[in-house]
Amino acid sequence: MINADGFTHLDAQGQAHMVDVGDKPVTTREARASGRVRMAPETLAKLLSGDHKKGDVLATARIAAIMAAKRTHELIPLCHSLPLSSVKVAFEPVPPEALAITATVRTTAQTGVEMEALTAVSLAALTIYDMCKAVDRGMVIEAVALEEKIGGASGGWKRETPAHA
């Protein structure tokens, strides 16, 4: 049910509720989100070299992202618990001072995985910040955005210009 303002999580009286997806068909769905962490060039170099006293920052951030995607329903009110079939997380340096993060999440379910992809990117970025804050408290997490969704009743959607371009 979509209320008069177009919000599915609000009923006709404007009260929050969990959307009933029971009558929706089970289909394959995918979402891709991105974001980045801007940091001092020295911090990026240290992170990429693997020479960080806390260990492998990117491996830890990847695990955090996957765990976050799997627990999105516990973090975001009104999200459904979904059986995720895949969570892929990629990191790409954007010299001289940024690290791009992309998460792609797949499921076969009655609702999409946009929130899971966005949560994965957000937690990867937060983990990077946490592990690197001792050397660079000025890092900035930015441009977290949905880039693409595939499947579901509304079909596909793709951002025309990447959010972190």
Q: How far apart are the first and last CA of the chain?
A: 35
Query: Do residues 36 and 139 lie in contact, with contact meaning Cβ atoms separated by under 8 Å?
Result: no
For 61, how many CA atoms within 13 A lie in the half-sphere containing its CB?
29
Alpha-carbon distance of 131 to 111, in angstroms, equals 34
What does the block give as tokens for 133? Answer: 């804050």
Q: Catalytic pick from 5, 23, 130, 136? A: 130
Query: Do residues 136 and 40 lie in contact, with contact meaning Cβ atoms separated by under 8 Å?
Result: yes
Q: Is 51 a catalytic residue?
A: no
Alpha-carbon distance of 62 to 99, in angstroms, equals 13
Enumerate the active-site residues: 130
